[in-house]
Amino acid sequence: MSAVRLPPFYLPAPELLSPHAEMVDREAARWLDRFALGPDRCDALSRAEVGSLAAALAPCGELAPLQLIADFLMWNIAFDDECCDEGPLSSRPLELADMMIRLLRVVESPEIPPSGHYDEALYDLRTRLSKHGSPAQVARWTEAVRAWFLAELWKAGNVARGVVPTLSDFLVQRLYSGGGFVCTVMVSIAEGYEVPEQVMADRRIRALTEMAILAGNGYTDITSHARERHDGQGSHNLVDVLCREQECGPERGLVLAADLLNRVTALFVRLRDDVATTADDTLRRYLASLSCYVSAAARWTLTSARYRYPSQQALGPAFEPGGWVGAPEDTTPLPIPSMAWWWQHDPLSEPAPRAAPPPQ
């Protein structure tokens, strides 16, 4: 597999890193062994460098909840590889649903003893989470896990039927898959702040949250594309979906994917900066965490051996990074129905006319 030159990424924040990165990475590898997750891929999982990712997601996080993030990332990757992307359950939605409903019950009701190695590991995460997060944060985390599992079931159903989703549908699935919303809750716990529900319900904050998670997850699709093609995966990667819709080859698909994500990130930065002018300290910290999510995910996928050296037998890297780029000049809304509403909150857009009052 020859190295692919990637297009450049636009990132919203400089790299920040907790000094605990190496320590939490070592402990996460021990945690992986303790629960025997991904027994056939222990070496590959240990090379994922989840400590670096956790340290970049929550650079000011306390050690114990930072370790919790790293352990969750290890669980996430092992579960994703074995059950959602590469294992037999990835194309058996009914069997995957059976497993996920049991896992979800562990999350909802930690009073019930777990019964399997993924259950036991998730139970450990859930009980530790309740020691650091408020009841409201734990409830938000639980709902995020539920949405994540639903997205993975959707993907498994598509794979089983041989369905390649439209770009608009795929981006909804990609937004929720991978546990991005789960991570943002854990980061707020590690960093010691809690955004009130009424603030999270603000449509601008919802748009910012979605943009950050989609951009971070999407950059991962770019770096993993060569590996997925080599391993016979496909169809549920942003690059492949764009290639199908635009009837182009993978080289052009990579460019289109980066352009889409860079434009989403640029909108995120414009709206983030606008919201920050009137935000209180807690909301500013949340905006900073969202910025870290995008930058941390992109930088991690460019450097982690999981993506750059997916096979230990490979003679060289799967890709060469394309570096960084400034904000794209094109600020027009992307013509994607499921995401178009984000641009309604673009500070550059004309304010929507007020509706006339109803007749008296």
More confident residue, 252 or 95: 252
17-318 CATH pick, 1.10.600.10, 3.40.109.10, 3.40.50.720, 1.10.645.10 = 1.10.600.10
Nearest to 216 by CA among 187, 178, 254, 186: 178
Nearest to 232 by CA among 243, 240, 220: 240
Residue 324 is which amino acid?
W
Nearest to 287 by CA among 344, 209, 349: 209
In percent, the amount of the chain with pLDDT more than 90 equals 74
Please give the pLDDT value at position 179. Answer: 94
pLDDT, tens digit, for every residue of 216-275? 999 999 998 877 776 655 568 999 999 999 999 999 999 999 999 999 999 999 999 999
Q: Which residue has the tokens 């400034």?
A: 326
- The pair of structure tokens assigned to 72 is 């969750």
pLDDT, tens digit, for every residue of 30-43? 999 999 887 566 66
